[in-house]
């Protein structure tokens, strides 16, 4: 006797879809909980299991909708069974008055604690912020928000650096640029690096230009250690430490010409010392 084909179970299909959607939505939610801010994720090519933050956000959103739609359809086609089940549970709950009251109070306290941002509920959000902020330490100095989406022309215009100098900075690092209309993300992808690496090349070029400008001595003597370090991207503490190793005392608010005068040197000499160029 031929074996009868088993009828396709829509109930079983629905159960599997809901379960898989729930797992993926939970997993993506956990990953997004610790993910870095968008500007860092985009500039550093941040990924988990080969998926970027944007892709994890898409997974979380789409499967959240899938879960919502399937559950809504399930309730629609099984409303009578569902309502009878709810009513039976309500009747049982009414016989568990203390349990119902205490559970309601606990849930209310959790809700209020979350809205009022008090421990331990605030600590959960702070933990997420801690994970997100921890990515800041490893990020490159991104000059513009979502700069990776700008074309090379737009990036040059917004940073104030001539485009040919940016291209030369890239070429000096071995990165090729096919077209000035390319976005930084496209250039980075073509060269097998992250946009953050390109930013570092641009940052180095800007520092080089500023150092050359200061090297001419034009107006530098009137500036303070703090101001010059800020413009060159140097650490004030490191600059002062380098001066002290040369027997020169200085503070962040001292002007270059005053430090040079006390040390019997020129402002350019002081600049070379804080940059580590004078051994």
CA 274 to CA 251: how far, in whole Å?
Answer: 12
Instruction: Tell me the mean pLDDT in the region 206-229.
Output: 66
Sequence-distant (6+) residues with CB within 8 A of 171 are: 177
**CA torsion angle for 18, 22, 28, 33 (degrees, to 10)?**
150
Is the pLDDT at 279 greater than 60? The verdict is: no
Tell me the CA distances in angstroms from 252 to 104, 197, 278, one per residue in order: 59, 31, 20
Confidence bin at 43 (pLDDT 50/70/90): low
Q: Do 225 and 236 form a contact (C-beta atoms < 8 A)? A: yes
Confidence band of 262 (pLDDT split at 50, 70, 90): confident
Per-residue pLDDT averaged across 97-104, rounded?
Answer: 73
């Amino acid at each position: 006797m031929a074996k009868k084909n088993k009828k396709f179970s829509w109930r079983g299909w629905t159960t599997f879809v809901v379960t898989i959607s729930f797992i993926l939505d939970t997993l993506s939610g956990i990953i997004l909980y610790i993910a870095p801010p968008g500007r860092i994720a985009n500039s550093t090519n941040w990924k988990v299991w080969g998926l970027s933050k944007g892709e994890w956000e898409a997974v979380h959103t789409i499967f959240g909708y899938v879960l919502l739609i399937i559950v809504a359809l399930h309730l629609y086609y099984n409303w009578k069974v569902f309502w009878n089940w709810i009513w039976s549970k309500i009747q049982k709950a009414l016989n568990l008055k203390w349990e119902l009251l205490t559970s309601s109070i606990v849930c209310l306290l959790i809700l209020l604690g979350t809205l009022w941002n008090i421990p331990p509920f605030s600590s959960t959000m702070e933990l997420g912020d801690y994970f997100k902020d921890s990515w800041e330490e490893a990020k490159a100095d991104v000059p513009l928000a979502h700069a990776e989406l700008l074309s090379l022309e737009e990036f040059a215009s917004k940073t104030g650096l001539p485009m040919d100098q940016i291209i030369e900075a890239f070429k000096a690092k071995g990165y090729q640029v096919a077209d000035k209309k390319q976005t930084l993300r496209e250039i980075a992808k073509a060269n097998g690096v992250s946009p953050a690496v390109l930013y570092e090349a641009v940052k180095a070029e800007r520092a080089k230009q500023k150092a050359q400008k200061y090297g001419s001595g034009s107006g530098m003597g009137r500036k303070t250690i703090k101001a010059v370090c800020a413009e060159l991207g140097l650490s004030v503490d490191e600059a002062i430490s380098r001066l002290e190793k040369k027997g020169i005392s200085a503070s962040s608010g001292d002007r270059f010409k005053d430090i040079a005068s006390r040390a019997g040197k020129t402002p350019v000499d002081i600049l070379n010392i804080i940059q580590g160029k004078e051994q």
